[in-house]
Amino acid sequence: MRTYARTTAGKPGKCRSAGILTRSTSVGAARIFAAEWLARLLPAAMVALAVAALLAGGLEAALAAVPAASVSITVKGPDDHPVPGAVVTVRALGTDAKPAAPVRAIMDQINRAFEPDLLVIPVGSTVEFPNSDSVSHQIYSFSPARKFQLPLYRGNPNPPVHFDQAGVVTLGCNIHDEMVAYLVVTDAQYFGRTDATGTWTADIPRGKYRVSVWHPRMNEGAGELERELTVAEGDRATLTLHLAKPLRAAPLQPHPHSWDAY
Amino acid sequence: MNGKSRRAFARVAGLGCAGMSFAAVVLLAASTSAIAGATEWELDLDARLVTSNGEKSFFRGGFGTLRFDEQTSGLQWGRIRLALNQNLGEVWSLHLDASSFGNDEQNPLDLTEAYLQFRPYPFDGFRARLKAGAFYAPISLENRLAGWESPYTLSSSAINTWVGEELRTVGLEGQIDWLGTRTGHLFDLALTGAVFGWNDPAGVVVARNGFMLNDRQSTLFGRVAQYGGPPPAQAPEVFREIDGRPGAYAGLEARYLDRVVLRVLRYDNRGDPAVFDPSSHEFAWLTRFDSAGLRAESASGWSAVAQWLDGQTFVEPRGTRFGWGFRSKFLLVSKRTGQHTFSVRYDSFDVASRQARSDDGDQHGHAWTAAYIFEPGTRWRFTLEWLSVWSDSDNRSDFGGLQIGADELLREHKLEAALRYAVGSAVK
């Protein structure tokens, strides 16, 4: 006790009362001490709780911005065989979600063929069409989504072409009829192409979506192969779409280019 | 066409032939000077080793059905070919194809085709095309390689041998393409129509010699020896205007993706068979035919080509009309596996005189062709071809110096090896 008294001796007011309290009863003094501190801390605790609640809300919002589920979409033919190379687009439903950010893409021309022969790009993207061949090419499109022509050229003399309307753009070369390529201009938030197993996988936030499938050789019309997909938090969503009709025959490969001189 | 306009056309025709020769030389020079630019050129050298029991060939004034006969077996030049393609601005291009076929050719190097092509941009899925000059009508479905060669065999079918021998469109051809596959459809369609001249002798060879099977193409200013005619150097040119009356054809082509091609064509050279050309001692021949062909290809390398042709040709000396009907068909099946192509073709052909009391020109026959092609790259091509023809021929029996009946089948066969080397900027 001496030590205690000595310690409080330096604080005259408290020392006195504390000293009194100490002398009267130690249990009751402890209760009063706790209540006093609680009363002092309460406002701060409430503020802290409010901040925590706010933080928690923010965290939830922040959590909502990161992928909620791994979505796996598989495209199969009527014979149940996987369809590689199919274009899958995923659009958010019921929101004003913006399309994916525009990109700058390149579609080259090598050995009298477009390389690659299919590109999926968000609306607003630009595409360069260099010609790496030693022969000249002329590119044309009369697709409603983007009609344009690039005059006979070699190298890369043309500015990139801007694609500001969603749709499929079919490209050809006026010199070489066997050359054909596709640009899928999409306003979807998520898109890609199926791999060799006919599957496309992406991390997509929870929500409701419309999934569309397109393939340059499919016999179904545009919009015929669409499904709604609900993605829940922490889900692993899978969806399999079946083409009702078999794909059209692929272009014959390899054909010497001179085979259709007449 | 009245007499005046007919004479005018004949004058233009006469000038045109000489003019075309001159223009070809000028264009050739112009193209050569632009080789470093957008010109594509190609030189092909094609040597042959032949063993044949064939009768004296048509090119030496005989009635054989093969190009190389027993006398010309051995080492031969198959073809020397020089081709130039020149883009002229955005939508025009020039195509020149010159060849020497070696055997009894009257010009060392002569044009097989020379034309200017206008190919504007497609408009809403349609495209117009125009060709002016001398070129092949869209008949053959086997002669699809540059230089009108075949990727399947060395020798053309009976039908296409005749096309190469007697037909060339010297005039104007227009075509409207509907590019269905570019608008999400399964088909492309093309409508073709042409107006031409310089094709009045067409029919004379099929009426006199019948069908043949070879790979020689008549050149634009070339001459060939004919039985009973003047020596080769004085023989008339194959492509001439005699009656001043233009011919015409119309055709349709339908393509299912790039797998199936169907072609039909109606051809009429509108010759006036009563008009005689004293300089060549030839009448104009009136020749009409219908042609149809189908080609189908699979992803596994199989191809099938079938063609059919049915026509008539008439000549009318001194008011008497003589006519011959001619028809032929063939089926070719081919398998391509890597650098190797194996092909088999069956041809049948008939020429029938329409004269009540004469069988002159009658010919019936069929042929089997088997070919193997090895292409280790774009420059070299090796071909081995066996060809066997069974035919009877009234003219060969009467004038060919053979002790053989008019209805007796004669078998001619050959084995031919070809080594072809191609060089140039067009060889990819």
Output phi, psi for B182, to 5 deg: -90, -5
Question: What pairing do the DSSP bridges indicate for beta strands A238-242 and A69-76?
Answer: parallel
d(CA B44, CA B36): 19
d(CA A1, CA B94): 117
For residue A197, the distance in angstroms to the closest alpha carbon of chain B comes to: 21
- A134, A140, A142: which to substitute to probe chain B, counting the most B Cβ within 10 Å? A142
Buried b or exposed e, range B210-243, using 16+ CB within 10 angstroms: bbbbbbbbbbbbbbbbbbebeebeebbbbbbbbb
Which of B125, B143, B299 comes nearest A249 by C-beta?
B299
Nearest CA in chain B to A179: B182
Name the CATH superfamily for B3-423. Answer: Porin (2.40.160.10)
d(CA B297, CA B303): 4
Which of A135, A174, A262 comes nearest B122 by C-beta?
A174
Burial of B32 (0-12, 13-18, 19+ CB in 10 A): middle
Tens digits of pLDDT across chain A (262 residues): 333 333 333 333 333 333 223 333 333 444 445 556 555 665 666 556 555 554 554 444 444 455 578 899 999 999 999 999 999 999 999 877 889 999 999 999 998 899 999 999 999 999 999 999 988 899 999 999 999 999 989 999 999 999 999 999 999 998 888 899 999 999 999 999 999 999 999 999 888 999 999 999 998 876 778 999 988 877 788 899 999 999 988 888 766 556 677 8
Nearest CA in chain B to A170: B182
Domains of chain A plus CATH, in order, are 2-63 (no CATH), 69-248 (2.60.40.420)
Residue with tokens 């042709």: B309
A interface toward B at CB cutoff 8 Å? 111-112, 134-136, 138, 140, 142, 149, 151-152, 170, 172, 174-175, 178, 180, 248-253, 256-262
- Regarding predicted confidence, which is higher, B343 or A222? B343
Which of A134, A138, A252 comes nearest B258 by C-beta?
A252
Which chain B residues have a beta carbon less than 8 Å from that of A174? Answer: 91, 119, 121-122, 127
Question: Both tokens of residue B160?
Answer: 């296409």
Three-class DSSP category at B300: coil
pLDDT tens per residue across span A19-68: 223 333 333 444 445 556 555 665 666 556 555 554 554 444 444 455 57
pLDDT tens per residue across span B7-53: 444 443 443 443 444 445 445 545 444 433 478 899 999 999 999 99
Q: What is the pLDDT of residue B249?
A: 98
Nearest CA in chain B to A135: B38
Instruction: Give pairs for A221-230: CB < 8 Å, separation 24+.
Output: A222/A168, A228/A93, A229/A71, A229/A73, A229/A90
Q: Residue B130: count other Cβ atoms within 10 Å of its Cβ.
A: 16
Question: Both tokens of residue B203?
Answer: 């029919």
Nearest CA in chain A to B302: A252
Q: Do A142 and B122 touch (CB under 8 A)?
A: yes
Nearest CA in chain A to B140: A262
Query: Per mean pLDDT, which range of A124-133, B53-62, B258-267 is the poorest?
Result: B53-62
Q: Phi/psi class of residue A85: alpha, beta or left (left: φ > 0; alpha: ψ in -120 to 50)?
A: left
Reported ipTM: 0.75
Residue B347's alpha-carbon distances to A15, A154, B211, B374, B414, in angstroms, are 128, 45, 10, 23, 16
Displacement of CA A256 from its chain's centroid (Å): 41
User: What residues does each domain of chain B span?
Assistant: 3-423
Q: Do B124 and A142 touch (CB under 8 A)?
A: yes
| Three-class SS of B173-216 | EEEEEECHHHHCCCEEEEEEEEEEECCCCCCHHHHHCCCCCCCC
Q: What is the pLDDT of residue B222?
A: 87
Residues near B36 by Cβ (< 8 Å), separated by ≥ 6? Answer: none
H-helix or E-strand containing B155? Answer: none
pLDDT tens per residue across span B107-140: 778 999 999 999 998 888 899 999 999 999 999 9
Which of B122, B147, B151 comes nearest A259 by C-beta?
B151
Taking alpha carbons only, the member of B292, B69, B326, B366 closest to residue B205 is: B326
Percentage of residues of chain B with pLDDT beyond 90: 68
Q: Do A258 and B425 touch (CB under 8 A)?
A: no
What's A177's DSSP letter?
T
Q: For chains A and B, what is the number of CB pairs under 8 angstroms?
A: 75
pLDDT tens per residue across span B141-192: 999 999 999 999 999 999 999 999 999 999 999 999 999 988 888 899 999 9
Q: The pTM is what?
A: 0.82
Contact B208, B351 (CB under 8 A): no
Question: Both tokens of residue B85?
Answer: 């393609």
B interface toward A at CB cutoff 8 Å? 38, 40, 87, 89-91, 119, 121-125, 127, 136, 138, 140, 143-148, 151, 179, 181-184, 186, 257-259, 297, 299, 375, 378, 425-426, 428
Nearest CA in chain A to B141: A262
Residues near B19 by Cβ (< 8 Å), separated by ≥ 6? Answer: none
Which of A112, A149, A249 comes nearest B257 by C-beta?
A249
